[in-house]
Chain A
């Protein structure tokens, strides 16, 4: 009986509702507008979902990805200190980002640096910023970009691993984020930036996901750090083998996965461009692993696990600027060139020059980033991403294979600016930090290890342990 009553009530309500809508029938235009809004909302939600996942994937690259990759490569006494250098960025840069760094990167400003319009995240709300990403909340764009700002300085830490004071590292990284990262990100990606390709910069540099902004700046800064701090005690006479290639292996595999967020996420939407970047990223990682390990196989007679994972990272670095502009076959080629090129740099050239870039931050990120940025000028095509348009909205050629021979010089300008900014900025910051608190630990602390002397703990507490 109660059931029947319920049904009756339901029918009555439905009848009432349809009667009401019939009375106030909206005009066709209103209906269309409403539908359009619903479609836009649905696309916005889809894009936003992918961008939030991508943000998390990029954070995964720093911790645990990079922390494990670098942590495994150092000696046992420095494993925690090395992991902390990455993890500290996840906390430190986040705070600076909220205060002012996001604003310096992405608020309107000059051609070289953003203003303070978004300081303390003022005006960064659920509303999209159409200049950057018209379908997702600016807050999503902000948190996504933060993950890039976190990993970039963390990459540098590979160069001064096993010998830099933790306090000096924190101060250095904070200043670096303000003085090197913010201007470079603004120039390439910010409104009014002189290298910005999608918003009409003076020298439009194609950098889809950060070949110049992330990898060249960090890689070149790493080289400056390695030479400024000097070699580790005992380098290159004493053996300094990675204490656990197993940790590095897990880290590299996490980097590979996280890089999908880094590159495919840089489409800032969930459509076909994201897929294209995802595919290019994966293909380049594969051939780069083959390239590096293959080069080792030929030279040393054995392909090493460390070689294969180092190669994959080099390929991921190189495809970063190109990922949203090239097809899968050029991606295979870019990866292969980067894998072999970075191997030669790390195994041959570094030994010849004698600098101690402990974990090859320059050899992988500086060299791989440069290879990638230049090859983007060769292989970028309007078929993948019609980013350049004429006044009528027709797609213009991008790279050399499209017949645009002016793009390579523009890429060179972008690379050169990144290198000069990174070199000068890093050197000045190192001098200031050295003067203020000293950059390097004492010889005694270095021998004892940074875990114990900088953090008062040990990575592995075993009752019996061999050195």
Chain B
């Protein structure tokens, strides 16, 4: 099993979610987050004072996938979230040891 964490532009969230459901991803967890990579921030003015806002709003999608779905999920996300401009986001992958369904103690990929 692999955990996929994708940090993307908020405006691309609907497209990415639909693309993931399309390829058979069963569930995901979504959070509104703030952060920056190489994109850095922008400036805002309040009564003449200039503020640099360097953590920008992003959406983070987390999904734990059976290994057979990982490549197609990456493909789906990059296709849906890419604008080609700086700030499109990143995908992180990590190994997952086990998963447990709380309702009935199912374990492993059947619990996903």
Contact = CB atoms under 8 A, between A and B. Distances in A.
A343 B46 contact: no
A300 B49 CA distance: 10
Interface string A220-260: 00000000000000001001011000000000000000000
B34 A241 contact: no
A387 B56 CA distance: 59
Contact of B48 (A241, A242, A302, A343): A343
Interface string B40-62: 00001111110111000000000
Contact of A306 (B46, B51, B53): B46
Nearest to B50: A300
A348 B45 contact: no
29 contacts: A236-B49, A239-B51, A239-B52, A239-B53, A241-B44, A241-B46, A241-B51, A242-B46, A296-B45, A296-B48, A299-B48, A300-B45, A304-B45, A304-B46, A306-B46, A306-B47, A307-B47, A310-B47, A343-B48, A346-B47, A346-B48, A347-B47, A347-B48, A347-B49, A348-B48, A351-B48, A351-B49, A360-B47, A466-B34
Contacts of B49: 236, 347, 351
Nearest to B55: A466
B45 A302 contact: yes
A304 B48 CA distance: 10
Contacts of B52: 239
Interface of A: 236, 239, 241-242, 296, 299-300, 302, 304, 306-307, 310, 343, 346-348, 350-351, 360, 466
Contacts of A346: 47-48
Nearest to B53: A239
A350 B34 CA distance: 31
Nearest to B43: A300
Interface string B20-36: 00000000000000100
B62 to A, nearest CB: 15
A64 B81 CA distance: 44
Interface string B49-82: 1011100000000000000000000000000000
B32 to A, nearest CB: 8
Top 6 A-B residue pairs of the complex, sorted by shortest distance between their CB atoms: A347-B48, A239-B51, A300-B45, A346-B47, A241-B46, A241-B51
Contacts of A351: 48-49
A343 B52 CA distance: 21
Contacts of B45: 296, 300, 302, 304
A307 B44 CA distance: 12
Contacts of B48: 296, 299, 343, 346-348, 350-351
In this complex, the member of A304, A348, A360 whose beta carbon has the largest number of chain B beta carbons within 10 angstroms is A304
A459 B45 CA distance: 25
A306 B46 CA distance: 7
Nearest to B31: A464
B16 to A, nearest CB: 21
Given A304-B46, A360-B47, A466-B34, 14 more contacts: A239-B53, A241-B46, A242-B46, A296-B48, A306-B46, A306-B47, A310-B47, A346-B47, A346-B48, A347-B49, A348-B48, A350-B48, A351-B48, A351-B49
Nearest to A242: B46
Contacts of A360: 47
Nearest to A467: B34
Nearest to A292: B47
Contacts of B51: 239, 241
A351 B45 CA distance: 13
Contacts of A304: 45-46
A467 to B, nearest CB: 10
A186 to B, nearest CB: 35
A112 to B, nearest CB: 37
Contacts of A466: 34
A350 B46 CA distance: 13
Nearest to A359: B47
A459 B23 CA distance: 43
Contacts of A299: 48
B4 to A, nearest CB: 22
Contacts of A306: 46-47
A424 to B, nearest CB: 29
B1 to A, nearest CB: 27
B10 to A, nearest CB: 14
Contacts of B44: 241
Nearest to B44: A241
A346 B46 CA distance: 10
Contacts of A300: 45
Contacts of A343: 48
A360 B47 CA distance: 9
Contacts of A310: 47
Contacts of B47: 306-307, 310, 346-347, 360
A296 B45 CA distance: 9
Contacts of A302: 45
